[in-house]
Homo-oligomer: A and B are copies of this chain.
Amino acid sequence: MENEKCEYLCVHEKVVEKVINNMPKEEKLYDLAELFKMFGDSTRIKILYALFESELCVCDIAQLLNVSQTAVSHQLRVLKTNKLVKYRKEGKNSFYSLADNHVCSIINQGMEHINE
């Protein structure tokens, strides 16, 4: 912390105090960042978007995104760990689908922002 003076002198105290009181817990904010991190990779976004339509097996996703099976599988695992997708097994296939509607609405919100 090279600039001690700054940290203590120029602060607009009332506003800062008010902001601090309204901030969620550190841990919540951390989780929130983790959630958004899931949407912050183009391969994962594509996977999620693809699942908007319907459940898909790993192979379907790999082909339609033109990405290797391994890469898809790794990313699906990440998404599954973070509860954004769920899956069911049917024979040799694993069918993945979106875990809940929040996923859709978050992505749509983002899309709206892009499209203006």
Any chain B CB within 8 A of the CB of A81?
no
CA of A30 to CA of B44, assembled, Å: 10
Count of chain A residues with Cβ under 8 Å from any Cβ of B? 65
- Measured between beta carbons, the chain B residues less than 8 angstroms from A60 are 10-12, 15-16, 19
A104 to chain B, nearest CB (A): 10
CA of A37 to CA of B59, assembled, Å: 27
- Measured between beta carbons, the chain B residues less than 8 angstroms from A102 are 109, 112-113, 116
Return the 9 tightest CB-CB contacts between A and B, nearest first.
A37-B40, A36-B39, A40-B40, A102-B113, A33-B42, A36-B40, A10-B59, A19-B53, A33-B45
| Copies of this polypeptide in the complex | 2
Q: Would B7 and A110 count as touching, CB distance under 8 A? A: no
List residues of A whose CB falls within 8 A of some B CB: 1-3, 6-12, 15-16, 18-20, 22-24, 28-42, 44-46, 49-50, 52-54, 56-57, 59-60, 62-64, 68-70, 92-93, 102-103, 105-107, 109-114, 116
